[in-house]
Chains A and B, each alone.
Chain A
Amino acid sequence: MTELTYAQAINAGIREEMQRDNNVVVLGEDIGKYGGVFGVTKGLYDEFGAERVRDCPLNEAAIVGFGVGLAISGKPAITELEFMDFLTFCMDPIVNQAAKMRFFWGGQVEVPLVVRMPIASTLGFGTQHSQSLEAWLMHIPGLKLVMPSDPYDAKGLVKTSIRDRNPVIFVENISLYATKGEVPDEEYLIPLGKANIKRTGSDLTIVAISSMVPKAIQAAEVLAKDGIDVTVIDPRSLCPLDIETIIESVKQTGRLIVSHVAHKTGGVGAEIAQQVTEQAFDYLDAPVMRVAAKDVPIAASQVLEAAIFPDVKDLIDASKSFSI
């Protein structure tokens, strides 16, 4: 085992896959010599050269569009957006092209494309650099959607995503980049669509996404002292979604909180809550709750921003609002 940060773990996963498959190409802004705005691609340029680790102009639509072209030509492409907010510039190549191309061309192509992008919530980046937009993508048939929460998962999932022959949106989290964790030295892969039960308790299930996972674990530890026993589930990927594991847990606990840093309205929490309601209504002792960002644009001021994003205390308060 080696201790790696979340960023280093992703880097190691990409490196291993580039060593394994000479066809893999990385495209993005400042990802070459500079190593990426958050250092995730550090060293790849030196190891694999400028042809496979390509610094691009600032044009997200063409970066992802070129990635689609490479992918359908048999060259798995890893494209990087510096912030998830820049997704607005490349929704067409992702939503209208990569996701649908295999279908509208009657199965004639494969699209092994990874689009990596980090969420930057809670870091003071302001309105246009702090959004968590995964709900837009979970809505689209033809896309896989992965959101790791720790270094071990990040490495195993990025490797699987690169090997997948379908388009995968890989959502990282800047607030997690420096977090450390033990990562095996030997190779391992984590399948998409398999949730991770981080903690088991009998009173309440919290399904937490991305940076809300460590917060949910913290909340669970505090709640344990108050006699509330919490299960924490990290779905790890939203498409495919391991709803079975969530349902199984709700059948045991009867109570569910879904938590993410994305806005509450129309967020993926609503989808998970609804699937649970449809499939396990009789097991629920109370309505499903969502602990998510307020439905306002994200402010730069630390005081205002702190009031927007959910934190450990919000999870504790929500948990205590159930009559357990």
Chain B
Amino acid sequence: MTLTNDQQINMLRQMWLIRLFEEAAMQLYREGRYRGSTHPYIGQEATAIGVNAALQSDDQVLATYRGHGACIAKGGDPNTMLAELLGKSTGINKGKGGSMHFADQSLGFVGCNAIVSGHIAIAGGIALSNQLEQNNKVTVCFFGDGASCEGPFYETLNMATLWNLPLVLVVENNGLAISTPVSESISVPDVSMRAQGFGLPGITVDGRDIYAVYDAANEAVTRARTGKGPTLLEAKTVRWSRHSAVAAGPAGKDADLWEKTDPLPRYQLELEQRSILSSKEMEAIKSEAQATIEAAIEFAINSPDPSLDELHTDIWVESNIT
């Protein structure tokens, strides 16, 4: 399957939305408009967008605490997402989840998780449900290089392969924990090599190359959908910002390198070379994204706080079993 022009144009739209959303998230944090933290996806956009382009709308995605990008790629609404950051009642989770828990079931965006690797087995269970239902849905689980060192990653690789589940495990290897480089934490050069020990295919691609990500994801999604089982797809990428808004850890790369690694100008150059968009048209897409994010900021700031009654809702499903 090759990407249509419309798809490629939409992918640029998503890239700008993610980039500007994250810049707004950082700015609102610096202004003291919310507390806690936020983990920007800047520099990694090509991975979530490239993978999402290979999915159908009812396929399911789970992501990490650095998951704003995956949410926007699946169609997340910047208004409710920014409102969620600010803890407002109009937030995507009514202000109860915050930055690390975006979710929208109506989009198949199952949700983000703040426990490193905590969502991987859950993704396996969702894939198992789809297999039992024979509904042809594919589940994608994004996680980082750090999660690939946690036990549930290995447990899920084993079970998903054993049961031939329709699951795509996407490790976004940005090279860093908060500060520890993967060279000091992972015993092999590529995380995808781990797949060999579990009997599933493992692929490594340049996660900043949106076309390479799409091609690999498309292959993995097709395998999953046609009953051929799970794939471990490693996207090597760069975390441009520090680990989080609380300024933990170093920035991913220095400024000189950033110019070479930033996936956004790289993608724009490709679109121009492929004669899909002119630079003027791309400017218009950027402006449109800017307007969307500015409106989202307004929406979030002007939204009301949750009522205190919300403390006691959404904990239990009322059960009246007699």
A residues lining the B interface (CB < 8 Å): 25, 51, 56-57, 59, 61-62, 64-75, 77, 92-93, 96-97, 101-110, 141-142, 160, 163-166, 189, 191
In the assembled complex, the Cα of A164 lies from the Cα of B113 at a distance in Å of: 24
Tell me the bound Cα distance from A189 to B110 in angstroms: 33
**Residue in B104, B119, B317 whose beta carbon sits within 8 Å of that of A102 in the complex:** B317
Contact pattern, B 97-135, Cβ under 8 Å of A = 1, otherwise 0: 110010111000011010100111111111111101000
Contact A69 B314 (CB under 8 A): no
Q: Does B196 contact A (CB under 8 A)?
A: no
Complex contact A59–B125 (CB within 8 A): no
Contact with A73, one of B125, B316, B322 (Cβ below 8 angstroms): B125
Enumerate chain B residues within 8 angstroms of A104, measured Cβ to Cβ: 93, 96-98, 101
Query: Out of B93, B95, B313, which one reaches A105, CB within 8 Å?
Result: B93
**A68 touching B317, Cβ below 8 Å:** no
Q: B32 contacts the other chain (Cβ, under 8 Å)?
A: no
Per the bound structure, the CA–CA distance linking A110 and B319 in Å amounts to: 11
- Measured CB to CB, the nearest residue on chain A to B101 is A104
Complex contact A102–B314 (CB within 8 A):
yes
Check B125 against A70 for contact (C-beta < 8 Å).
Answer: yes
CB contact list, B297-322 vs A, under 8 A: 313-317, 319, 321-322
Interfacial residues, chain B to chain A (CB-CB below 8 A): 91-98, 101, 103-105, 110-111, 113, 115, 118-130, 132, 151-152, 155-156, 158-159, 162, 313-317, 319, 321-322
For residue A105, which residues in chain B have a CB less than 8 angstroms away from its CB?
A: 93, 97, 101, 103, 105, 111
Contact across chains for B317 and A165 when beta carbons are under 8 A apart: yes
Among candidates A57, A92, A160, residue contacting B159 with C-beta atoms closer than 8 Å: A57
**In the complex where A103-B314, A107-B313 touch, is A69 in contact with B129 (Cβ < 8 A)?**
yes
Across the interface, which residues of B come within 8 angstroms of A62, CB to CB?
Answer: 121, 124, 152, 155-156, 158-159
Q: Which of A64, A73, A77 has the most CB of B within 10 A?
A: A73
Q: Do B316 and A96 touch (CB < 8 A)?
A: no
List B contacts of A189 (CB < 8 A): 321-322
Cross-chain contact A61 with B321 (CB below 8 angstroms): no
- Is A103 a contact partner of B96 (Cβ separation < 8 A)? yes
Q: Quick one: given A57-B158, A104-B93, A106-B97, are A73 and B321 in contact (CB under 8 Å)?
A: no
Contact of A66 among B96, B111, B121, B316 (CB under 8 A): B121
- Beyond contacts A57-B155, A66-B122, A108-B104: 16 other A-B pairs, Cβ-Cβ < 8 A, are A56-B159, A59-B155, A65-B120, A65-B121, A65-B124, A66-B124, A68-B125, A69-B121, A69-B122, A69-B129, A72-B126, A73-B129, A102-B316, A105-B111, A109-B103, A141-B315
